[in-house]
Amino acid sequence: QSESFGVPKIAFINKMDRMGADFANVLEGMKKRLGANPLPLTIPNGEGEAFDGVLDLLAREHLDFDQADQGRTVTRRPWNDAEAAVAEPWRESLLEHLAEADEPFLDLYLGGEYSLDDVRAALRRATLSRAVTPVFCGSALTTEAINPLLNAIVTILPSAADNAGEQ
């Protein structure tokens, strides 16, 4: 229904802390069943009982959420070597797919000179044009990784002011 009305979307893969969690399988299901072009911006650091926060693919940071205040306090640190080994291929894939979806970014990407702000601007353009669906993951019950999702809703999706002229 959202496609028929031209509504840009963001996806959240929930319950990453539960037994049987399978991030990659959900992404594949989004492609096959929904015809979506999912673009992960965070990936789980472990799944099921091994879930230990998320890896932010743009900032190259591990995000950990304090359960004492329901995940409001976020601890950020650079990826360690093991996390980088897992996350760097995901990050490269993100940048490649974003370059395919956004022509201005393609030129920057091929030139090898782009900033994080360039990536974020391209992500917003590609999301608004519905070329990609940004994907986040975490656990809503324990509020793990809800902050990045809420921040993305504010920075990536259109605001009422963006739509004010469309009446």
163 has a pLDDT exceeding 70: no
150 has a pLDDT exceeding 70: yes
Over residues 11-38, the pLDDT tens digits come to 999 999 999 999 999 999 999 999 999 9
Over residues 47-78, the pLDDT tens digits come to 999 999 999 999 999 999 887 887 778 899 99
Tokens of 48: 């099921």
pLDDT score for 167: 47
Run of H or E including 40: strand 38-40
pLDDT score for 50: 93
Measured on CA atoms in the order 69, 72, 78, 82, is the torsion positive or negative? positive
Over residues 107-117, the pLDDT tens digits come to 999 999 999 99
Residue with tokens 């990609």: 132
Most confident of 4-8, 65-69, 84-88: 84-88
pLDDT score for 143: 83
pLDDT score for 113: 93
Over residues 113-140, the pLDDT tens digits come to 999 999 999 999 999 999 999 999 999 9
Higher model confidence: residue 166 or residue 12? Answer: 12
Task: Report DSSP state, residue 58.
Answer: T
Q: Please give the model's pTM, rounded to 2 decimal places.
A: 0.91
Q: What angle do CA 152, 155, 156 make, to 5 degrees?
A: 70
Once rounded to an integer, what is the mean pLDDT over residues 67-94?
Answer: 92
Residue 116 neighbours by CB distance under 10 Å: 10
| CA pair distance 90, 139, nearest whole angstrom | 20
What is the SS3 assignment for 72? coil
